[in-house]
Amino acid sequence: MNDVEFSIFRNENYIDLNMYQCGREKCKPGHIFGPAARNHYLFHYVLEGRGTLMASGVSEMTNTFEISPGQGFLLYPGQISTYIADARDPWTYCWIEFDGLQVKEALDRTLMTMDNPVYRCHTPQQREVMKEEMLYMVSHMKEPTLHLIGHLYLFLSALVESTRRWQPRKTARMADYYIKEAITFIEQNYTRDFSIEDIAATLGIDRGYFGKLFKRATGQSPQQFLIQYRLIKAANLLKTTDLSIREVASSVGYENQLHFSRAFRKMYEVSPREYKKALPNEPESA
């Protein structure tokens, strides 16, 4: 039998954001749940171990994803899914089922979609806040309703902020132009070595002023955005090509393989070599 604890939240009075259940489970090797579909959003966060998610996408084709510690997955209402604990290193995860009028708009600001429901954080600090909020709710379900709803809001905020899409906020018209041009510059030149000063010079504005505009619009410094953009491209190359680690590093603008590996580990919590080794042998689309 699996080691599991869970609670059901039976209050339907909160239409903006409400919780239906939450729990934590230490799965046995090969433990399977599904196929099943939920009426609400269901988020799992993997505390340790590994497993496999098979979930229907927008086109109803089933996609397969390998999930590692520190990652998670979001299941959408009506989405059919099956998930399986690894036979050698079965996962322990916590989960929360939630919904409400504010949820879709909030989740639309994240990188997660039905076709790519895997949670990968950009900000480890917010990920830790999210994890702690989930674990707190699992172990404090006898607290007053308002108390738990407050923690549910904190969970959703941390979930969104830790994997937010890079989407400029509304700013003055000229500032919008600068941000759009800067992102276009990065998209077109990330494979070569350049500095933030080079971007500012291309735009014809002061480097300090550019940095303030960019952070105000995106929530990130230009350097943070550039690093994460390059590393996401690198992860895709590791996944879809047979390039060596050195070749991948060079392909995304890192001439120093050690610097690339350090940056990659900081973002993904595994080295590029470990990341590539953990990838499934078959394509993700089943």
Check whether residue 238 and residue 265 sit in a common domain: yes
The candidate with the shortest Cα–Cα distance to 17, out of 154, 112, 134, 164, is: 154
Check whether residue 132 and residue 189 sit in a common domain: no
CATH of the domain at 21: 2.60.120.10
Total tally of structural domains belonging to the chain: 2
User: What does each C-alpha distance from 237 to 79, 97, 266, 275, 279 come to in angstroms?
Assistant: 29, 34, 18, 11, 12
Q: According to the model, what pLDDT value does residue 166 have?
A: 66
Check whether residue 191 and residue 100 sit in a common domain: no
Q: Is 219 left (phi over 0), alpha (psi -120 to 50) or beta?
A: left
Check whether residue 127 and residue 257 sit in a common domain: no
Check whether residue 19 and residue 155 sit in a common domain: yes
Check whether residue 24 and residue 109 sit in a common domain: yes
Q: Which domain holds residue 205?
A: 173-278
H or E element at residue 276: helix 272-278
Q: Is pLDDT at 165 greater than 80 in this prediction?
A: no
At 284, is the pLDDT very low, low, confident or very high (cuts 50, 70, 90)?
very low
Residues 6+ apart with CB under 8 A from 195: none
Check whether residue 85 and residue 225 sit in a common domain: no
> What CA–CA distance (Å, rounded) separates 90 from 64?
17
pLDDT by residue (tens digit) across 117-130? 999 998 889 999 99
| Predicted TM-score (pTM) above 0.85 | no
Question: Looking at the domain assignment, is residue 168 inside a domain?
Answer: no
pLDDT by residue (tens digit) across 38-64? 999 999 999 999 999 999 988 878 999
